[in-house]
Structure 1
Amino acid sequence: MRDYTKEKAMAGPRPVVLSGPSGAGKSTLAKKLLEEYKGIFGFSVSHTTRNPRSGEENGKDYHYVTREVMQDSIDKGEFIESAVFSGNMYGTSKASVQAVKDKNLICILDIDMQGVRAVKTTDLNPIYVYIQPPSLTILEKRLRDRKTESEESLQKRLEAAQVDMEICKEPGIFDIIIVNDDLDNAYAKLKQALIEEIEKVQKINSS
């Protein structure tokens, strides 16, 4: 019996997985892609059980849901990946990715290392990119400058970052590792890594 669900999931442009510690600059780089290549990229909006921060919008920054709703969806197999951080659940639903791919856009997924491993068990076949801060010291300064973290949460993020920065070196996990020590240089490297897929979508859109 043919798996039509799997076939549909494979339709559309190849997605891009952006991973790296909070504060490495993933969101900034993704926004630059979206601005330069309008009609080429789309952002997969993740789900979370945490409360919105000031200025964040439901459906744009995250889908804010209750723990019960999210767990029920995960149990039904509706999520590609999910994780718990600082007591809050985060995850990427299949529907949010497919919604982007259905528009013939390259779907950008901003996910953690646990999520990366989960995606590797699916048929998404994305391009895996790791965005790395120049050092843990610089990462700590960036996180403190945000003023959005409690001290406990900040220390947890730094501990997780240290582990991730070791795991990312393992062969076969990421297609490219970009050290974000200069935003313009990091962005140029990111574009180069994705240019083949970008040109494919541009060609389809212009035909």
Structure 2
Amino acid sequence: MSDKTRGPRRGLLIILSSPSGAGKSSLARALRDWDPSIRFSVSATTRAPRPGEVDGREYHFVTPEEFEAMVARGDMLEHARVFGQLYGTPRAPVAAAMAAGEDTLFDIDWQGGQQIKVSDLNADVVSIFILPPSIAALESRLKGRGQDSAEVIRARMEKSLAEISHWAEYDHVLVNDDLDRCAEEVRTIVAAERLRRSRQPWLKDFVRALGDEQEASA
């Protein structure tokens, strides 16, 4: 079926979650390399920028007062406190993308994912959880970054175990024992979810037109 035959579909809210170090950032990049039209949701945070990070690209860096004001106004689709800092998803850009029929990718933890799944946008959510091949591999990846102290790594490992306990709350669960294969599995999920009947509002009129065509040719 040609693109001219197909009508517009509903956009997806793609939630990609994993314990820190399990590879969700790499998988998110691979997904957007596959389809650059997928919009990445840029979160707001109260933490300080890391070297090389740019405001509005990796995060919207705001003060705690600004963040709390956004929450109070209902401007956050989801928010949570992680390692003493606030993180959240501004609602306006996501709503604009949905109105345009565009997919939005969220690189967030289980808390943010749950808030989006119970929001008024829940019908368009597709949630994917990424598991590490082992706890030892997860710890090795965190140490290999060379960014965090031993104390921070211990805290991240503790949080990772808590994060993993929520795996069954997701629509799809993958084990990242091979990055290329896992990336392909993520792409397959997104491609299939785009084709759900509920996300093809044009199909009803298309099928009706097929019936009319049949009657006219009878």
TM-score normalised by L of structure 1: 0.84
Query: Do the aligned residues in 2 keep the contact of 1:80 with 1:93 (CA within 8 Å)?
Result: yes
Q: Which has the larger radius of gyration?
A: 2
Which contiguous aligned blocks of 4+ residues in structure 1 show a shift greater than 6 angstroms? Answer: none
- Following the alignment from structure 1 to structure 2, what is the Cα–Cα distance between the partners of residues 121 and 37? 27
User: What are the Cα deviations for residues 169-197 of structure 1, in whole angstroms up to 9, with x where unaligned?
Assistant: 3xxx2111011110011011111111134
Query: Do the aligned residues in 1 keep the contact of 2:15 with 2:108 (CA within 8 Å)?
Result: yes
Cross-structure match for 2:150: 151
- Aligned residue pairs: how many? 188
Specify whether residues 130 and 67 from structure 1 end up closer, same or farther in structure 2 by C-alpha distance, changes over 3 A only: same
SS across alignment from 2:21: coil
User: What are the Cα deviations for residues 102-145 of structure 1, in whole angstroms up to 9, with x where unaligned?
Assistant: 44321001111111221122022210100111112111111111
Matched letter for residue 157 of structure 2: L
SS across alignment from 1:109: strand
- Following the alignment from structure 2 to structure 1, what is the Cα–Cα distance between the partners of residues 130 and 120? 23
Cross-structure match for 2:26: 28
Residue in structure 2 matching 1:196, options 181, 184, 192: 192
Cross-structure match for 1:14: 12
Specify whether residues 84 and 189 from structure 1 end up closer, same or farther in structure 2 by C-alpha distance, changes over 3 A only: same
Specify whether residues 99 and 45 from structure 1 end up closer, same or farther in structure 2 by C-alpha distance, changes over 3 A only: farther
Residue in structure 2 matching 1:80, options 77, 80, 88: 77
Residue in structure 2 matching 1:185, options 156, 173, 181: 181
Deviation at 1:70, TM superposition (A): 0.2
Deviation at 1:85, TM superposition (A): 1.4
Residue in structure 2 matching 1:114, options 107, 111, 114: 111
Cross-structure match for 1:138: 137
Question: What is the root-mean-square deviation of aligned Cα atoms in Å?
Answer: 2.0
Report % sequence identity. 37
Q: Which moved more, 1:190-199 or 1:159-168?
A: 190-199
- Following the alignment from structure 2 to structure 1, what is the Cα–Cα distance between the partners of residues 96 and 146? 33
